[in-house]
Amino acid sequence: MPIRRVVLDVDKAIDEPDLIHLARMIERSPGVRAVNISVTEIDIETVGTDVTVEGDDIDVDALMHAIEHTGAVVHSIDQVVAGDYTVEAKRRQR
């Protein structure tokens, strides 16, 4: 079953890698067609980001390796979308 979207919680150092370099390294991973990196928090030494990656059949192992190769750290995988097409999450009514 092809992986179509992965959302990750990624931290990086303030100075390296810069967001452009991180995005370019992610984009080179097999199956990746698009990447969105949003800064969620900044402290003295680190920048927290949400990284959304979309593609036709993302190689998640290669993606994780590419991120870690830049010096950034993946804290968690927060969403995975897989299958023949993309299913958008719907909030449950409680």
Q: Across residues 31-44, what is the average pLDDT?
A: 96
The position carrying tokens 């390796």 is 65
Q: Which residues have CB under 8 Å from 80's CB, separation 6+?
A: 3, 5, 6, 7
Two structure tokens written together for 57? 């059949």
Using 50, 70 and 90 to split pLDDT, how confident is the model at 68? very high
The answer on pLDDT for 82 being more than 80 is yes
Using 50, 70 and 90 to split pLDDT, how confident is the model at 84? confident
Using 50, 70 and 90 to split pLDDT, how confident is the model at 89? confident
- For the domain spanning 3-82, the CATH number is 3.30.70.1340
Residue 73 C-beta-side C-alpha neighbours within 13 Å = 8
Two structure tokens written together for 61? 């192992």
Using 50, 70 and 90 to split pLDDT, how confident is the model at 88? confident
Using 50, 70 and 90 to split pLDDT, how confident is the model at 71? very high
Tell me the C-alpha to C-alpha distance, in Å, between residue 45 and each of 3, 8, 13, 28. 33, 20, 6, 27
* 15 secondary structure, DSSP code: S
Question: Could you count the other beta carbons within 10 Å of the beta carbon of residue 12?
Answer: 23
Question: What are the residue ranges spanned by the domains of the chain?
Answer: 3-82
The answer on pLDDT for 37 being more than 80 is yes
